[in-house]
Amino acid sequence: MTPTDKITHIIINAQILNNRLTDLNAKNVFKQNLKLKSKQFLAELIKVEKDWYDKFFDAKEQSTIDVYNVYENFINEVSKVPIWEMDNISKILEAYKKDPKSIEGITKKILK
């Protein structure tokens, strides 16, 4: 992964995390110390967003939208899996890295 790709991933992650934390704060999920810390963290994420995401978005609007949507979908799907099942998901990902076509074929058969 190139440094530009790494920066892109960080920028998109910061944006998605910012959106999710903002939603949780609006619903008053956090209490006391965690609420204060999340607000401070959000302030830092907003700085990242202003300094990087907006500039990046302006430069490559459609590409940024596509990458953002992939990350958002990934986070939504992964968050549905209980943490204690993540070892199985990791094994599936390892298998995918070894033989993507086979795993894609198996996936298509299962999802029919």
3-state SS, 74-107, equals HHHHHHCCCHHHHHHHHHHHHHHHHCHHHHHHHH
Q: Do 94 and 57 sit in the same domain of this protein?
A: no
Q: Do 73 and 95 sit in the same domain of this protein?
A: no
Which has the minimum average pLDDT: 1-5, 36-40, 94-98? Answer: 1-5
Domain holding 97, by residue range, is 83-112
Q: Do 67 and 28 sit in the same domain of this protein?
A: yes
Overall domain count for the chain: 2
Q: Do 73 and 97 sit in the same domain of this protein?
A: no
Q: Do 93 and 62 sit in the same domain of this protein?
A: no
Q: Do 55 and 91 sit in the same domain of this protein?
A: no
Q: Do 59 and 95 sit in the same domain of this protein?
A: no
Q: Do 14 and 47 sit in the same domain of this protein?
A: yes
Highest-pLDDT range among 8-17, 35-44, 87-96: 87-96
What is the average pLDDT value for the chain, to the nearest integer? 80
Contact indicator for 72, 55 with CB cutoff of 8 Å: no
Q: Do 45 and 61 sit in the same domain of this protein?
A: yes
d(CA 41, CA 84): 27
Instruction: State mean pLDDT over 7-25.
Output: 77
pLDDT digits (tens, 9 = 90+) for 22-64: 887 778 877 888 878 888 887 887 777 677 766 666 666 666 6
